[in-house]
Structure 1
Amino acid sequence: MSKTTSDKSVVQLLVQQCIKKGIREVVISPGSRNAPLIIAFNAIENIECFTIVDERSAAFVALGMAQQLRRPVAIICTSGTAALNYAPAIAEAYYQEIPLVVLTADRPKEWVGQADGQTIDQSNIFSNYIKHSIDLPVKIAHDDDAWYANRSISEALNNTMHPVPAPVHINIPLREPLYGRTAAEKRVSRPIEQLIPEQTLSADQIQELATKWNKAESVMIVAGVLAPCEKMSQVLSHLGQLSNTVFLTETTTNQFCDNFITCIDRQIFSIDEDEAALFKPSLLISLGGQIVSKKIKEFLRNNPPKEHWHISQSDKVIDTFQRLSLSVKMDAYEFFSQVASHLKVETGRFKDIWQKRSLKNQALHEQFIEQTKWSDLKALNHIFTHLPEKSQLQLANSTPVRYAQLFQDDIKVHSFANRGTSGIDGSVSTAVGASINSENPTILITGDLSFMYDSNGLWNSYLKKNFKVIVINNGGGGIFRFIPGPSDSPELEQFFEAKHQYKAEHLAYTYGLDYFSASSLEELEDTYNNFVNNNTKASLLEVFTPGDINGKILRNYFKNFSNNR
């Protein structure tokens, strides 16, 4: 260590374990009870410490970092309600399978419930949304205390990545004084490593699965959220050549191939009840995280396959389509790569039927976009078709990620969204975190409510020159003008849509972003290139669209496919 560290021996053990387990980034929110943690982590040269004041934002920033790094990132807060502010990001990380190490400073247990300041019961506080939770001893007074701390910390950190990535919680009760320092380590940590055996299907298992696949008249692979992976793209592209197999993807699937069926909602809206049998699979195979499209879920529930295999290492039984027959507990790439060479389908019409419908709908899509008025749809068409090469796209909930599915054919960059819990609460912060370790431009597309809800995500010193925010400002929650129910409710504007006249301009100036705006297609075309190519500092483009007609235009967009069956 190049600096003096905390004199709390339990903190020293924790920090040493984190280093040996590969923690390299720590997001810290200021406080006093967490002072020993701040002192100890800041003393390590090969750990980078970030300061984010707002704990809710800090946790989402760390989530965005871990999303891109694909390894654990730690977050540190003080005691009391500070920890509760972590909850939204922890829940998102849990359901999105992103590794976070949550370190919460605490009062000693004897002071909980004794009317002491900034003290709440923090033991197992995230119980429903955490993979593993421990409380460390207040001090190491005996060798058994050190043994317990070593073992507990190792177990927690090992659980961040295996069998699936997830957040873990380490609660650290600390007594005053909190600011003591020492130049020497008092104890040496002893991390417990894990040996993870390779996953291999037996010859009999491969033969059985391949035989069913080969004999099936119609096989549909549906993928939700996936991390970018070139080798996964290669094996899935091979499967997409099979005549009895179609592969349906979404923007957040991050897999690209001409054989894949994209823009799922567009295809489903075009399928009449009388022809559903032509498009339904006899064998459904699913993988990845949450699926954005509600229509594909409805279609497969109403037109169930004979068999459904789900590929996941999660210990949960995931039966999204209510027809699960086989849960395969292994890595999806390993599964497909081991089975692929045994698939030999030479005849079949299933892929051809889907591809012909997809081509027809692509033409209808382009025709409708060309003729439509200025709206969310028109503005996003220009944005999605002019994304800079090698940029990464961050999509906020709730309408931006849905609109992106309509332009999937045009989006050729990796796309990410908080679809674990699908909340609007951390979109800006997640995008900031994702941009920190990326040399390529990060472009966040967000609605006005989502942006303003998480505007504290801009309250930090880590906004890079190539970080760009596009705010679609339609004066409220536009999705509620499209969803049946709220759109016809007299409470729409006040309670569902939360209609407003606020602008993002002053927030941009407050946080030091260059500001651009557009209120028409002509203005967007004139402004967009300047915004994208602006490299002086982080920038924000606010696009104003008419909120009262966006819902009607989107409904007409989908009617365009059902009317042209």
Structure 2
Amino acid sequence: MRYTDIPAAHLVVAYCKSAGVRQVVLSPGSRNAPLVLGFTSDPYFECFSVVDERSAAFFALGLSQQSGNPTALVCTSGSALLNYYPAVAEAYYSRIPLLVLSADRPVYKIDIGDGQTIRQDGVYGNHIGFQGNLQQDVTHAPASIRWEGGREPGDPRSLHEMQARILAENEARVQAALQTAMEDHLPVHLNIPFEEPLYGTSPEPPVEIRPTLQPRLPEINGEGEDLLGHWQEAGRKMVLIGSLPPGSLSDAVVERMAADPSLLVFTETTSNLHHPEFFPSIDSVLAPIERSGQPAPSFEALRPDLLLTLGGMVVSKKVKQFLRAYPPAGHWHVGPHNANDTFFSLAGHVRSDADHFLGDFLPRTQPDTKSGYRARWSPVRDAYRKRRTAYLGQIPFSDFSAFEALIKAIPDGYMVQLANSSTVRYAQLFDMRPGNPVFCNRGTSGIEGSTSTAVGAAHNYEGPTLLLSGDLSFLYDINGLWNDRLRDDFRVIVINNGGGGIFRILPGKEDSDAFADYFETVHNRDMEPVCNMFGMGYRRAASAGELEAALDGFWDPSGRPILLEVRTPREINDRILLDYFDFLT
């Protein structure tokens, strides 16, 4: 085995290995050659080559989403680093660990007109857990270095003393970055300047590392005791659960929540929690109240005395509007990291793993058997399910009916990766089965990167994967398919309604050329050429009958990934969705 002969590069690679960072996503370049050589020469690392840096970063995010461990991202200097930014921001708000390693020119070559240079130090600003600029080695290519003051140190011992200080400072920054990524579940960035030559190797490592990573003790606060008193006093309690990985709450915690008649548990598709007593499809409860002639009495009846939130970002805009207009007396969040004051009523934050805390907390509480809170709203939930079935029986083929048929057809064991915008919002209206774990990039809620994330997640998931996407999101990220790790059991369903259909639903829409061109962005693209480019199987459906036929055999084992394009009528989808809420009303 050979090692890069540049000390800083080897230092980073060796610390990644000592910290258990196994997966590394590399994008081609020259300045990052020392890192590429270091990672690819060691069989400990699983290395991926992804050309498009934006896609590479989301692919790495998908890997970490499933593994829970930091994935290293390695790029060359210049604008390559900027292309990571959308995924870095998503990882920051979704609490997914990434280790961004950017190669750089030496500092004396920045802003002098040298090629492929930008100001890389601190480029991610406020969207990063830790960022550090490593110091350039002085024992590598000393004759090429522009020394401060214009003269190289004459005594070789001075050079090695300088290098020893540089090594110590670089070690501290690398360790701090890795510790933040692993314990805080955040993206971190190390910027590493390299002087040419870049491709040298050695049979011996240029430096020996001394791993000293020490786990930080978890931060514990005593707010759980304060919450207990409020909980016992509240006759109407609401638990709102945002995005959570599958298995985050134990069966015992779920059953205890389900047994309390004073407790409403609102779940989202991305919460991966299921129980007959819980309330999925939040908008199907709230939209009919909102669209009724007199919403205030019903909203007052739904207003909780106490709101408890778990998990990450919440998709439903309607529940945010409701809880801001009818705030609870207190909002508490349980989670090991940050607590968002989403509803402007945050009273406390129990900084603990939700399952660990609730497993101890709930047995200490007494269910309020006299409360009629859940009894008031369970019939509403049951009624909208019946009304939804009736509505589906009378509407034409559309986004709404297509999503219902597709979600019903997904086999158990498939992981579902949802694109953003209308895709995740339609999925919220239907009941996903417990056998289908669901993920979506809701940190920044952007449409970019959904395909790349799904491809990365699929690589680390034991079973097959389905990406359910809208047309704009899919076309925006077709380079996500430019990846030699695309699995044969990867399935894609694209709902193609010929534009950004969600904009037709939003208030203020105008049926004008400006709206069609600059908001909805009407197009006539189809997906078959994309499938031909990337060697995927292709199917198409434009009616309920065609969809049923296209799904026949779609999930069967195959020698390549398959995409199903579902064409829906652009100009009636919005009316059918809005009429659904009126129908429930």
Choose which of 325, 336, 348 in structure 2 pairs with 1:313. Answer: 336
Shift of 1:412: 4.4
2:310 aligned residue: 287
Tell me the SS of whatever aligns to 1:516: strand
1:173 aligns with 2:206: no
CA distance in 2, matches of 1:237, 1:485: 44
1:197 aligned residue: 217
1:125 aligns with 2:123: yes
CA distance in 2, matches of 1:18, 1:50: 16
Distance 1:491 1:543, change over 3 A: same
Shift of 1:558: 1.2
1:155 aligns with 2:153: no
CA distance in 1, matches of 2:336, 2:119: 33
CA distance in 2, matches of 1:150, 1:523: 60
- 1:324-370 CA-to-partner distances (Å, cap 9, x unmatched) read 11122222223212211111123211122222211111111111112
Tell me the SS of whatever aligns to 2:277: coil
CA distance in 1, matches of 2:548, 2:334: 43
- 1:41-61 CA-to-partner distances (Å, cap 9, x unmatched) read 001111100000000000000
How many residues are aligned here?
556
Choose which of 262, 279, 285 in structure 2 pairs with 1:261. Answer: 279
2:232 aligned residue: 214
1:303 aligned residue: 326
- 1:221-245 CA-to-partner distances (Å, cap 9, x unmatched) read 1011111125445413322211111
Q: Return the TM-score normalized by structure 2.
A: 0.92
Give 1:327-342 correspondences, 5 Å limit: 327-342=349-364
Shift of 1:439: 2.6
Choose which of 213, 238, 242 in structure 2 pairs with 1:224. Answer: 242
Shift of 1:411: 6.5
Give 1:519-538 correspondences, 5 Å limit: 519-538=542-561
Q: Amino acid of the residue matched to residue 499 of structure 1?
A: V
CA distance in 1, matches of 2:510, 2:352: 43
* Structure 2: tracts of 5 or more residues without a match: 139-159, 290-294
Contact 2:134/2:193 (CA < 8 Å) preserved in 1?
A: yes
Contact 2:249/2:354 (CA < 8 Å) preserved in 1?
A: no
1:101 aligns with 2:99: yes
Give 1:243-262 correspondences, 5 Å limit: 243-262=261-280
Distance 1:556 1:342, change over 3 A: same
Q: Amino acid of the residue matched to residue 136 of structure 1?
A: L
* Structure 1: tracts of 5 or more residues without a match: none
1:144 aligned residue: 165
Contact 1:385/1:411 (CA < 8 Å) preserved in 2?
A: no
Tell me the SS of whatever aligns to 1:460: coil
Moved more, 109-118 or 145-154: 145-154
- 1:473-506 CA-to-partner distances (Å, cap 9, x unmatched) read 1110110111112355652211101101011101
- 1:42-96 CA-to-partner distances (Å, cap 9, x unmatched) read 0111110000000000000000110011111011000000000000000000011
Contact 2:272/2:434 (CA < 8 Å) preserved in 1?
A: no
Same amino acid, percent of matched pairs: 40
Choose which of 4, 8, 23 in structure 2 pairs with 1:10. Answer: 8
Q: Amino acid of the residue matched to residue 430 of structure 1?
A: T
- 1:280-307 CA-to-partner distances (Å, cap 9, x unmatched) read 1000011211111000011111111111
- 1:132-184 CA-to-partner distances (Å, cap 9, x unmatched) read 0001111164222221111110011000032x311000101000000001110
1:186 aligned residue: 206
Contact 1:133/1:169 (CA < 8 Å) preserved in 2?
A: yes
2:151 aligned residue: none
1:242 aligned residue: 260
CA distance in 2, matches of 1:505, 1:136: 47
Moved more, 177-186 or 329-338: 329-338
Give 1:376-525 correspondences, 5 Å limit: 376-408=399-431, 412-487=435-510, 490-525=513-548
Tell me the SS of whatever aligns to 1:161: helix
Shift of 1:548: 0.8
1:558 aligned residue: 581
Contact 1:384/1:411 (CA < 8 Å) preserved in 2?
A: no
Shift of 1:269: 1.5
Choose which of 310, 322, 326 in structure 1 pairs with 2:344. Answer: 322
Contact 1:155/1:192 (CA < 8 Å) preserved in 2?
A: no
Moved more, 217-226 or 321-330: 321-330
Q: Return the TM-score normalized by structure 1.
A: 0.96
Tell me the SS of whatever aligns to 1:469: strand
Shift of 1:129: 1.0
Contact 2:252/2:359 (CA < 8 Å) preserved in 1?
A: no
CA distance in 1, matches of 2:432, 2:489: 24
Tell me the SS of whatever aligns to 1:533: coil
Distance 1:485 1:191, change over 3 A: farther
Q: Amino acid of the residue matched to residue 30 of structure 1?
A: P
Tell me the SS of whatever aligns to 2:552: helix
CA distance in 2, matches of 1:301, 1:238: 28
Contact 2:4/2:205 (CA < 8 Å) preserved in 1?
A: no
CA distance in 1, matches of 2:375, 2:171: 58
CA distance in 2, matches of 1:530, 1:556: 33
Q: Amino acid of the residue matched to residue 338 of structure 1?
A: D
Shift of 1:311: 2.0
- 1:388-446 CA-to-partner distances (Å, cap 9, x unmatched) read 11110000011110000001355741111111001111011000001111231110011
Moved more, 57-66 or 145-154: 145-154
Q: Amino acid of the residue matched to residue 482 of structure 1?
A: I
Tell me the SS of whatever aligns to 1:530: coil
CA distance in 2, matches of 1:71, 1:104: 19
CA distance in 1, matches of 2:212, 2:544: 59
Tell me the SS of whatever aligns to 2:230: helix
Q: CA RMSD in A?
A: 1.5
2:300 aligned residue: 277
Moved more, 423-432 or 206-215: 206-215
